[in-house]
């Protein structure tokens, strides 16, 4: 019985340590998995899954070159969550205009991952591309260069900041 009490105390101690320290450490593998989850959920139109990958406190700024004058937009959780629906609505409108189903192509390249010395955050430089089009070519071609900050809480990595530029080529 005494051994059971010690085992329970060890488990409780480990749980407290994990919640306070261990679960807040971010790793290279977590960061890579986070991006994989993001793009897979975005591609299938799963707004809830995408939304869950962003911290409630996520913030950021993006400058867009879609128009003749750059436009700066702010990022928060509501904006991040809405982006999935907006992208798929845009695709649907394009399909209606051209009269057929369109292909989507999502790609990302992680240029660098810098994990802080205390392992609580990772700063990630990433290039992304989203294209909608036909076999003949893209109707919408959007690319971004961005710097994201990722944190882990209870072993789950989330985006907490994202800043970058977005360029439209069609």
* Nearest alpha carbon to residue 143 among 66, 36, 72: 66
The predicted-structure confidence for 8-63, as pLDDT tens digits, reads as follows 444 444 444 434 444 569 999 999 999 999 999 998 889 999 999 999 999 999 99
Query: How far is it, in rounded angstroms, from Cα 104 to Cα 42?
Result: 11
Each as own residue / partner, the long-range contacts of residues 30-34 (CB below 8 Å, 24 or more positions apart, any chain) are 30/122, 30/150, 30/152, 30/157, 31/110, 31/113, 31/122, 31/124, 31/150, 31/157, 32/110, 32/113, 33/157, 34/150, 34/157, 34/158, 34/159
**Per-residue confidence band for 91, with pLDDT thresholds at 50, 70 and 90:** confident
Global pTM value: 0.80
Least confident of 46-50, 67-71, 73-77: 67-71
Tell me if 73 sits within 8 A of 134, measured CB to CB: no
Output the CA–CA distances (angstroms, integers) from residue 170 to 54, 57, 111, 133, in the order listed: 29, 33, 25, 10
Contact partners, residue 84, CB within 8 Å, separation at least 6: 41, 42, 45, 46, 47, 50
Set out the domains of the chain in order of their start, with CATH numbers. Answer: 25-168 (3.10.450.50)
């Amino acid at each position: 019985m005494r051994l059971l009490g010690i085992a329970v105390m060890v488990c409780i101690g480990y749980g407290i340590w994990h919640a306070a320290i261990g679960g807040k450490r971010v790793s290279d593998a977590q960061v890579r998995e986070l991006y994989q989850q993001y793009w897979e959920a975005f591609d299938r139109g799963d707004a809830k899954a995408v939304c869950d990958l962003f911290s409630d406190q996520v913030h950021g700024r993006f400058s867009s070159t879609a128009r003749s004058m750059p436009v700066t937009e702010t990022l928060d959780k509501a904006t991040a969550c809405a982006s999935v629906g907006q992208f798929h609505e845009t695709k649907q409108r394009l399909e209606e205009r051209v009269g057929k189903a369109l292909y989507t192509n999502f790609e990302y390249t992680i240029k660098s991952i810098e994990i802080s010395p205390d392992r609580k955050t990772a700063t990630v430089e990433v290039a992304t591309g989203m294209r909608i089009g036909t076999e003949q070519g893209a109707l919408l071609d959007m690319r971004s260069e961005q710097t994201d900050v990722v944190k882990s809480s209870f072993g789950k990595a989330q985006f907490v900041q994202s800043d970058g530029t977005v360029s439209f080529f069609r």
